[in-house]
Amino acid sequence: MRQWMALGAVALALAGCARDGRPDLPDAPVAIEGDSIRYETSACFGACPIYVVTLRPDGTGTFEGKRSPR
């Protein structure tokens, strides 16, 4: 009986070392060329600006003002 318990404990310990077949992930995020974040506002009831902001992975971006409040 103790032999089976010891064998079970060893099997559980080794199960923690099993790999799932996926490659190791890098330590830092990797930017994919062409990825960007775009935020666009739209008209509202009242005085609110309308603009588009685009940010790229290299830290650059653009701002396009379309309409400002009266």
Each residue of 23-44: pLDDT tens digit?
676 677 666 767 889 999 988 8
- 3-state percent helix, strand, coil for the chain, nearest multiple of 5: 20, 25, 55
- Residues 11-15, mean pLDDT to the nearest whole number: 69
> What span, in angstroms and rounded, lies between the C-alpha atoms of 34 and 58?
10
> What span, in angstroms and rounded, lies between the C-alpha atoms of 39 and 49?
13
The model's pTM: 0.48
Return the structure tokens found at 64: 């396009």
Amino acid 7 reads L
> What span, in angstroms and rounded, lies between the C-alpha atoms of 60 and 57?
7
